[in-house]
Amino acid sequence: MRLIINALKNVWTLSAYRWLSVSGFALFFILYLMTLPSSFTGGQIGWIALQYLDLSMVILSFIMALLVAFIMTLMVWLIRQGQKSSKASATGGILVGIFAPVLCCSPIIPIIFGSMASLLPSFIGSSGPLFQGFIATHQIELFTIAIILLLLALYQNAKKVIHGNSCHLK
């Protein structure tokens, strides 16, 4: 925790990175607020989905947007310093958070699996509903995984900010 706070303090000495965090948070907060309730609207995102927002979705959107904003800020800092950032966990966390509600109850998966069934009919044909049903009934677990991935990404990038390109002596 201290590592993450110190990394952010380091990066936030420049106002540009503070603004990046704020704008990133605002962008992703709105994005999550609009996508999380889409599981109630067959995947439709936008104003129509907002009426299904509840307190738990707002809190989840806040937490995920905050984590993404911090990660994004650290990654940009690392890239500008010429260092490699840790992308995989961040990407996984962001994608799970956005796609889980959209895919759960929309026609997207049936259409994709229906297309794939042309190639592998016996296996793929009945897999669509299983996949979709699993997503719909395991949303809490999926969002927990998303948050864990984001925390992991935050830790990995914070470590790189603090330790930089330090050499390891054998």
Partner 1 sequence: MKKLSLWLMLIIFAGLTGNLSAQELTPPVKAPQADFISQGSSHTLAEYRGKKVMLWLFSTWCHTCAAGVKALAEKHKEWKQHGLIILALRNYNNGGYPGADVEQFIAHYSPPSATRNWVKGEASEEMNKRYNSRQYPDIYFLINEQGVIQEQGTAPAVFIKKIIDFARSDTQKEAVQ
When the beta carbons of 133 and 164 are compared against partner 1, the nearer one is 133
Question: Of 23-31, 67-75, 109-117, 146-154, which segment contacts partner 1 by CB under 8 A?
Answer: 109-117
What is the closest distance, in whole angstroms, from the C-beta atom of residue 67 to partner 1 in the complex?
Answer: 24
- The torsion of the CA quartet 108, 111, 115, 121, rounded to 10 degrees, works out to 110
Interface residue with partner 1, options 99, 110, 152, 162 (CB under 8 A): 110
Q: Which range, of 4-12, 54-62, 115-123, 146-154, touches partner 1 by CB under 8 A?
A: 115-123
Distance CA(143)–CA(97), nearest Å, equals 6
User: Residue 68 CB: number of other CB atoms within 10 A?
Assistant: 24
Task: Give the total of residues touching partner 1 (CB under 8 A).
Answer: 31
Q: Scanning residues 121 to 140, which ones bind partner 1 (CB under 8 A)? A: 126, 128-130, 132-134, 136-137
**Percentages helix, strand, coil for the chain, rounded to the nearest 5?**
80, 0, 20
Q: How far apart are CA 44 and CA 127, in angstroms?
A: 23
24 vs 37, which CB is nearer to partner 1?
37
Tokens of 72: 């994004």
* Distance of alpha carbon 64 from alpha carbon 70, whole angstroms: 10
Token representation of residue 74:
């650290």
Stretch of 20-28, 53-61, 65-73, 103-111 lying at the interface with partner 1 (CB under 8 A)? 103-111
- Residues 6 or more apart whose Cβ sits within 8 Å of residue 11: 17, 73, 74, 77, 161
Site string for partner 1, 38-67 (x = CB under 8 A): -xxxxxx---x---x---------------
Report in angstroms how near the CB of residue 121 gets to partner 1 at its nearest: 10
Give me the residues that bind partner 1 (CB under 8 A), please: 39-44, 48, 52, 104-107, 110-119, 126, 128-130, 132-134, 136-137
